[in-house]
Structure 1
Amino acid sequence: MSDFVCEPLSKKHDKQAFDCGIAVLNNYLAKIASQDVKRKAAAVFVLSPSSEPSRVAGFYTLCSTSIELSALPQELTKRLPRYPEVSAILIGRLARDVAFPGTGSLLLADALNRCVRVSSEIAASVIVVDSKGEAASNFYSKFGFISLPRMPHRMFLPMATAEKL
């Protein structure tokens, strides 16, 4: 990752030039992401080439969430407290510019690392993603994410697994 820097979204980043091939994600970064940061609705992190610090090679968002304990597989829940909801961190959006193939795994690795770091200060038992389609589900599965039985497009990764990664 020495060729890239991942940092919070700021005014220096050229949000308009980003193109991941998905209009809704391009629009989010260009028009909504800064507002989400200001309103504390999501933290937005940007991956930029070290040689072009204003260019956005990719981005992801994080926010706190929870998931019903009953939605998780029983083999995981037996190690968790019996609260109705389990604390979690949601990777809400993750996208890479089409000009930077292969950086999706760098983005996810940075997001997982950040989740593990903050979970020691703000408790979270799992990391959650909402996969958009089969390709996204396959991508997240490679990193150990598991589909929820009742919500196949919602996937989770136990924080303990992320700590090992």
Structure 2
Amino acid sequence: MSEYVCEVLTKKHNRKDFDCGVEVLNDYLVRFASQDVKRKAAAVFVFTASEESSRVVGYYTLCATSVELSGLPEEAVKRLPRYPQVPGILIGRLARDVGHPGLGRLLLADALSRCARSAKEIAAAVVVVDAKDKSAADFYSRFGFISLPKMRSRLFLPMETVQKLYSS
């Protein structure tokens, strides 16, 4: 990841030139991301190319969420507390610039690593993503995310799995 730097979104970052090919994700970064940071609605992390430290080439957002226990597959429920809802971390948006193929994997790895570190101090039983389309769902599935039976576009990964991947 040495050719990229991950940072919290600030005013120094050029968001206007970002293009992931999905207008709603481009628009979010330009128009709403900094507001979400200010209002504590989401933490926004941006990747910049190390030689161009202000140009955003990828980003993801994280925020707290909860998942209905009854909505999870039975095999996942066995290892979770028996509360109506279990706490989680939502990767709300994840996008890479079209000029940086392969960066999506690094964005996801960084987000999951951050989730694993956070879960050591703030309880979270799952990491959740909302796939925008089938292509996005397939991307997350390749990394072990499991579709929720009642909401196919929402996928999750048990925090136990994430922490095993990133234990050090």
Give the TM bin, normalised by the shorter chain: over 0.9
> Residue 139 of structure 2 aligns to which amino acid in structure 1?
F
1:5 aligns with 2:9: no
1:62 aligns with 2:69: no
Q: What corresponds to 1:82 in structure 2? A: 82
Note the 1:9-158 alignment, pairs <5 A: 9-158=9-158
**CA separation in 1, counterparts of 2:32 and 2:137?**
25
Instruction: Quote the offset at 1:146 in angstroms.
Output: 0.3
> Residue 159 of structure 2 aligns to which amino acid in structure 1?
M
| Secondary structure class of the residue paired with 1:105 | helix
Please report the RMSD computed on the Cα atoms of aligned residues, expressed in angstroms.
Answer: 0.7
Deviations 1:27-81 (A, max 9, x none): 1100100000000000000011111110111000000000000111111111111
TM-score by length of 2: 0.96
> Residue 48 of structure 1 aligns to which amino acid in structure 2?
T
> How many residue pairs get matched?
165
Deviations 1:74-127 (A, max 9, x none): 111111111100000000000000111110000000000000000011100000
Question: What stretches of structure 1 of length at least 5 have no aligned partner?
Answer: none
Question: What stretches of structure 2 of length at least 5 have no aligned partner?
Answer: none
**CA separation in 1, counterparts of 2:55 and 2:43?**
18
TM-score by length of 1: 0.98
Instruction: Quote the offset at 1:132 in angstroms.
Output: 1.2
Instruction: Quote the offset at 1:164 in angstroms.
Output: 2.3
> Residue 143 of structure 1 aligns to which amino acid in structure 2?
F
**CA separation in 1, counterparts of 2:160 and 2:59?**
24
| Secondary structure class of the residue paired with 1:82 | coil
| Secondary structure class of the residue paired with 1:56 | strand
Instruction: Quote the offset at 1:14 in angstroms.
Output: 0.1
Instruction: Quote the offset at 1:162 in angstroms.
Output: 1.0
State, as a whole percentage, how many aligned pairs show the same letter.
67
| Secondary structure class of the residue paired with 2:40 | coil
**CA separation in 2, counterparts of 1:138 and 1:79?**
25
